[in-house]
Amino acid sequence: MVSVPWLTVLWAIPMIGAAVIILLPAGARHVAKYAAVAVSIAVLAVALLLAARFDTAGAQYQFVEDHPWIPSFGTGYILGVDGIALALVLLTAVLVPLLLIAGWNDTPDPTALSGRAPHAYVALVLAVEGMVLISLVALDVLLFYVFFEAMLIPMYFLIGGFGAGTGRSRAAVKFLLYNLFGGLVMLAAVIGLYVVTAGSAAFDGGTFDFRAIVTAVADGDLAVNPAIMHALFLGFMFAFAVKAPLWPFHRWLPDAAVESTPATAVLMMAVVDKVGTFGMLRYCLPLFPDSATLFRPVIITLAVIGIVYGAIVAIGQTDVMRLIAYTSISHFGFIILGIFVMTSQGQSGSTLYMVNHGISTAALFLIAGFLVSRRGSRMIADYGGVQTVAPVLAGTFLVAGLATLSLPGLAPFVSEFLVLIGTFTRYPVLAVFAATALVLSAVYVLWMYQRMMTGPVAEGNENLRDLHRRELVVVAPLVALLLVLGIYPKPALDVINPAVEHTLTTIGQTDPGPAVAEGPGK
């Protein structure tokens, strides 16, 4: 019986779909959007099939495919998925069709012959999806790096070619330069890792096989000067910190998010940037456990600064889209904090946070985008009384905002709570500082809602339309996911926890035991 290479099918569908759509003749371009949605739904179907067949009690990496790629370089076409990658695969597969529908009117006339035609836009979105998916399932370091960098190209054109702002070209260049520089630093580290394996007796020549390298590191067979491993760790970590982004490498994100269309901004913040935090958990910890432990205090300090900084700067924003972009910097701080405290609660919460942040940010940013497209302004001061004329829009905006501030009963609460608990067991002072963001997030979300949605109807808002059918098709699943994962996160955690436990075991970390005070005379 022939085994179906499901992981290859997973990423090949959007890549082939993108190639077919971009080659459509001018007379057939009116079907490009429908074809793209159909392709993205097919990807979702494959992702759901993988989830249904994934055995939480089985091997760490499942659906493994291992074929030669460039044997002379010690690299192979190796794919496999664990619980952490599967969670992000599902997030990507769920969001992309919703983003294609949300951005239905973000492109010019279908008959346009320029690069800004709708068929080019949807092809770029599918290309990004395919590259993200192969990055998530790659088990070869070089294979991961190739697509980690390649996804910058379609994202650059989505921001610069289809952006909604007047500064989109500058924002696209800024996005590209930051991420390209981080990627070049990582390339040096990838080459260095190959040289290290080539000089080790544990391997018959150099290799990029992630599983083999991790096994050698865990068994102590990769005897390398610690200073070299620290340098390699910093090369990987720098690239991921720019992509995620971690403060102070965040400067490209607000501009890129504001100048993009809302759908592109969500694709960037909720999907593409997650590859950065995924890389920290997948590569930085197992490949360089001693280095990760050494630099842990510095990284979690930067993460806490980012948490507080993002929240404070968000409070002072007058542009609703920029405000939401800064909230993501705060949330990425929580995700990175959970990864590097190296506790089971912290890393499980961090992985779940990647999923929940993707959903909540998609909901809030898209609803705000729908509102901005009606009013033609991103300025908070131009709104007021929206709940009177568009109650469904205002109501869903409130739910998404409350999810962003991690209200109990909505999905982000569970993940943020786990991250804080996991942090407190090892770094109680930093956990207290991070927890101040809970108050700050309530300030920026509720104040934004009060200024935009409540009170008398501001001039120019009298004729704002409520959400229509296409927009409800986008918003309703996101709100439903926020409620379901907020009330019953167990299925997601059942998939994530075994992978987290394996990671902690591999890097030799255990949860801190409870401190028990000794009684008198003991």
What pLDDT sits at residue 95? Answer: 95
Q: CA 294, CA 296: separation in Å to the nearest integer?
A: 6
Q: Could you report how far apart the first and last alpha carbons of the chain are, in Å?
A: 67
Cβ(327)–Cβ(319) below 8 Å? no
Q: CA 495, CA 485: separation in Å to the nearest integer?
A: 13
68 DSSP β-pair partners = 76
What pLDDT sits at residue 115? Answer: 47
**H helix runs in 425-506, sequence order:** 428-453, 469-487, 490-506
Sign of CA dihedral 155, 372, 359, 324: positive
Q: Is 42 exposed, middle or buried (0-12, 13-18, 19+ CB in 10 A)?
A: middle
What pLDDT sits at residue 112? Answer: 44
Phi, psi of 7 (to 5 degrees): -70, -35
Q: CA 417, CA 420: separation in Å to the nearest integer?
A: 5
Cβ(333)–Cβ(303) below 8 Å? yes
Residues in the chain, pLDDT under 70: 1-2, 107-116, 513-522
Phi-psi region of 397 (alpha: psi -120 to 50; beta: other; left: phi over 0): alpha
Sequence-distant (≥ 6) Cβ neighbours of residue 383 within 8 angstroms: 320, 371, 375, 377, 451, 452, 453, 458, 461
Q: Write out the two tokens for 474.
A: 């986008």
Q: pLDDT, tens digit, for every residue of 269-306? A: 889 989 999 999 999 999 999 999 999 999 999 999 99
Angle at 59 between CA 342 and CA 243, to 5 degrees: 45
Q: CA 151, CA 147: separation in Å to the nearest integer?
A: 6
Q: CA 420, CA 476: separation in Å to the nearest integer?
A: 29
Q: pLDDT, tens digit, for every residue of 413-466? A: 999 999 999 999 888 999 899 888 888 888 888 988 898 888 888 888 888 888
Sequence-distant (≥ 6) Cβ neighbours of residue 220 within 8 angstroms: none
What does the domain layout of the chain look like in residue ranges?
Answer: 289-512
Q: CA 201, CA 178: separation in Å to the nearest integer?
A: 37
Q: pLDDT, tens digit, for every residue of 367-425? A: 998 888 888 888 888 888 888 888 999 999 999 999 988 889 999 999 999 999 999 98
Q: CA 209, CA 287: separation in Å to the nearest integer?
A: 11
Per-residue burial over 59-97, b if 16 or more Cβ lie within 10 Å, else e, is ebbbbbbeeeeeeeebbbbbbbbbbbbbbbbbbbbbbbb
Q: CA 99, CA 361: separation in Å to the nearest integer?
A: 12
Q: Write out the two tokens for 506.
A: 């591999």
Cβ(434)–Cβ(307) below 8 Å? yes
Q: State how far Cα 87 lies from the chain centre.
A: 11
Kind of pairing, strands 75-81 and 62-70? antiparallel
pTM, two decimals, is 0.90
Angle at 87 between CA 83 and CA 90, to 5 degrees: 135
